[in-house]
Amino acid sequence: MIEKKFQGVFAAAVTPLKSDFTPDIDSLPKFLSFLAQRGCHGALILGTTGEGPSFSFAERKMIYQAARNVRQIHPSFQLLVGTGSPSLQDTIKFTRLAFDLEFDGVVVLPPYYYKNVTDEGLLSWFSEVIEESVPSDGALFGYHIPQTSNVPLSIDLLKRLKDKYPDKFAGLKNSSSDPTHVLKLGDSFRDELTVFTGNDRLFSLSLGVGASGCITALANVISPDLRVVWDAHLSGEPTQAIQERIDRTRVIFDLYPPAAPVLKSILSRCHGFPKWAVRQPLIPITKNIEKQVIADLGLDC
């Protein structure tokens, strides 16, 4: 059994961008502080929702440095960063930078250009990343999001990584929407790996089979509800009613993919943040869509 350093509600944070598509460095720590105040234990920056693959090394460095400033107000707020890239060397470079700047851990997509790669190939790739860029006290999480990457991380691969790197391979962000996979992960790793669900609708189910929390896009705007589920889980109280409300919210959001443009509109409309841009090929939602989403969610803003 491992000691689980990472637990609770994490936001897959959006990345604030100015109208010229450059990172809004001043807004980022303020936004992360907003998440901390609304119940998040930490955040994943530059993941899928954070448009991570759209940023250069120099931009990433600025974003990493700005994100760390949240700790001036919230010193226990944990910071993860998405560093996966189809390029092995870029992944190593991004990961080294994250640990050099004292991030708590990294969440690494598999190399997602080539499909139908073998577990042997993925084991070799992840081994190189871990050996070349993860320090002895570092934590690397695999990122299982097959609907986007088309490169799943199998149970067997996870076991092999855990056995080979018991101190550095910390666990998994599971963004699959398959409840059967949640149960398999629970059966396989309940006390061995830190598993976060990336799907809000599977939060209670995941916690029930040993998951350590969630890392979700919706935590940008509904982290208070997710925190209620987490706290109820810790105290052994029922979570069904609040989970059903989260489910209804997730169903609505799933009608308007991808998440980043909708979330940025809601954060601006309902919480007073600037109307942050999204990077091409993403485009902002229209005023009509924004009004429809607000109405569907029943928000008073």
The segments of the chain whose pLDDT lies below 70 read: 1-4
Q: Is 173 a catalytic residue?
A: yes
Quick check: is 172 in a domain?
yes
| Residue 124: other Cβ atoms inside 10 A | 11
Q: Is 143 a catalytic residue?
A: yes
The pLDDT of residue 289:
96
Q: How many CA atoms lie within 13 A of 191 on its CB side?
A: 1
| Residue 240: other Cβ atoms inside 10 A | 10
Using a cut of 0.85, tell me whether the model's pTM lies above it.
yes
Structural domain boundaries, residue 35: 8-235
Quick check: is 132 in a domain?
yes
User: 162, 168, 173, 264: which is the annotated catalytic residue?
Assistant: 173
Q: Which of 144, 147, 133, 145 is nearest to 105 (CA)?
A: 133
User: 143, 162, 168, 249: which is the annotated catalytic residue?
Assistant: 143
The pLDDT of residue 1:
43
The pLDDT of residue 94:
98
Quick check: is 243 in a domain?
no
Quick check: is 251 in a domain?
no
Reading the block at residue 239, the tokens are 């979570």
The pLDDT of residue 3:
56
Q: What is the CATH number of the domain that holds 128?
A: 3.20.20.70
Quick check: is 258 in a domain?
no
Q: Is 216 a catalytic residue?
A: no
Quick check: is 161 in a domain?
yes
Quick check: is 73 in a domain?
yes
Quick check: is 295 in a domain?
no
Give the tens place of pLDDT for each residue, 147-177. Answer: 999 999 999 999 999 999 999 999 999 999 9
Cα 205 to Cα 246: distance, rounded to the nearest angstrom = 13
Q: Which of 143, 177, 176, 167 is nearest to 157 (CA)?
A: 143
User: 15, 48, 49, 95: which is the annotated catalytic residue?
Assistant: 48
